[in-house]
Amino acid sequence: MVAGTRPNFMKVAPIIREIEAKGISCCLVHTGQHFDELMSKIFFSDLGLPEPDVYLGVKGGTHAYQTGEALKALETVYIQEKPDLVVVVGDVNSTLAGALAAVKIRIPVAHVEAGYRSHDIAMPEEINRIIVDRISQMLFAPTQDAVDNLVKEGIDSKRIFFVGNVMAQTLLEFVEAIDKELPEALSDKHLGDYVLATVHRAENTDDPRRLRQIMESFAELPLPVVFPIHPRTAGKLPKELKQLCADSGVYFLRPQGYIDFLKLMINSRLLLTDSGGIQEEALLLGIPCLTLRYNTERVATIELGANKLVGTDKGLIIKEARRILSEPKKSYPVPPLWDKKVAGRIVDAVIANSNLLEIKPQEKL
Ligand code: UD1
């Protein structure tokens, strides 16, 4: 199992549990793409993940540097460990490196969360998704639209498995198990209703005009905004803009662990985000979501009425947020197979289809 970033950890957790329950041995490799205590370590303790068997310490740098360093280091691990299968999740640079290093030395790859497409090639994750899906031997799709994308791209349907969303499994398990109090950082604030926001995508954080529009919209919303801040965003936010927001009811928090962020979502009235996974978590929790992007690969969230793309225009963000806040709370239909059996389906499918795991010369994928 290869993982490297915050949004990978909740996806590998139930799969590792399931693999081990079946008596199959599993080696967890952490590339180190995310490395801070609050971006990585806390997720291991929150999720009850075992310590990584191998930690590669690849951090920072450009896309090519990060992917290249992970590629080199992963190849060495694969040659030593000789796995029968490499499992990668999601769409981050560690996912790409994990798949590419394996298939080049003819170790088969299973991709969990296969088939999502934003159809925006300027998005680094879209490039990762397309390449990883093209070179994987088994593709585990979270939604029917993801299956359809893979079929349209000519992937052999015997390699595509519609299993549901593994991130949903983790969320549903935790929602049942945790208390729903606000995390400690806010427990003395008597917040009442609030909006929860996250912003970390480079096209938003690295474009000063966009970042300003987004942050000024937060400052002008009719409810307080709780804003756990990603290290990239913290580095880009001008002091004066941060102060303006802090003076206007924006609560800046450090990056939150899995459980505390879940509590923040559960208690919020509205989510504003440019993340991928949070769009889906909002749907599962019945919290409306406005996505600060111009496209999404998570199209089911839009089709089911739980999510709307608003981009980065301040006027539109405020208008849509006001509209939602004036409406009564709703719940949304949950996509098929977003349940607590996703990891079981994945591991069962691997066991039942080991014939797919051989990379044969002259075979078309
Ligand atoms: C990565 C993923 C993105 C995912 C996001 C979740 C890719 C292409 N992008 O983006 O899909 O939504 O993770 O957070 O893989 N940093 C730290 N400490 C950390 C991690 C990051 O300080 O623990 C800072 C570093 O300056 C780093 C920058 O954040 O260079 C960006 O990190 P990086 O992993 O390159 O991309 P993310 O924006 O986190």
Q: What pLDDT score does 360 carry?
A: 84
**36 Cα nearest atom in ligand 1:** 23
Q: Which domain holds residue 47?
A: 2-165+338-356
Residue in the structure block whose two tokens are 């290869």: 2
Do 54 and 122 reside in the same domain of the chain? Answer: yes
Average pLDDT over the chain reads 96
Atom 22 (ligand 1) nearest CA = 231
Do 18 and 104 reside in the same domain of the chain? Answer: yes
- Asked whether the beta carbons of 223 and 311 are under 8 A apart, the reply is no
Do 73 and 207 reside in the same domain of the chain? Answer: no
- pLDDT at residue 141 above 90? yes
As to burial, measured by CB atoms within 10 angstroms (0-12 exposed, 13-18 middle, 19+ buried), residue 361 is: exposed
Do 125 and 248 reside in the same domain of the chain? Answer: no
**Does a structural domain hold residue 88?**
yes
Residues in contact with ligand 1 (CB, 6 Å cut-off) = 5-7, 33-36, 39-40, 60, 92-93, 124-125, 200, 230-232, 275
Q: Encoding tokens for residue 298?
A: 């998570």
Dump pLDDT digits (tens) for 257-309. 999 999 999 999 999 999 999 999 999 999 999 999 999 999 999 999 999 99
Q: Which residues are catalytic?
A: 200
CATH number, position 261: 3.40.50.2000
Do 209 and 313 reside in the same domain of the chain? Answer: yes
* CA of 200 relative to ligand 1 center, distance in Å: 8
Burial 103-121 (b: 16+ CB within 10 A, else e): beeebbbbbbbbbbbbeee
* CA of 23 relative to ligand 1 center, distance in Å: 34
The H or E element containing residue 173 is helix 166-177
- pLDDT at residue 365 above 80? no
Do 10 and 93 reside in the same domain of the chain? Answer: yes
**Does a structural domain hold residue 330?**
no
Question: Which of 113, 120, 201, 232 to probe ligand 1 with, by most ligand atoms within 8 A of CB?
Answer: 232
Model confidence at 6, pLDDT cuts 50, 70, 90, reads very high
* CA of 349 relative to ligand 1 center, distance in Å: 32
Predicted TM-score (pTM) of the model is 0.97
Do 142 and 31 reside in the same domain of the chain? Answer: yes
Tally of structural domains, the chain: 2
Q: What percent of the chain has pLDDT over 90?
A: 93
Do 46 and 158 reside in the same domain of the chain? Answer: yes
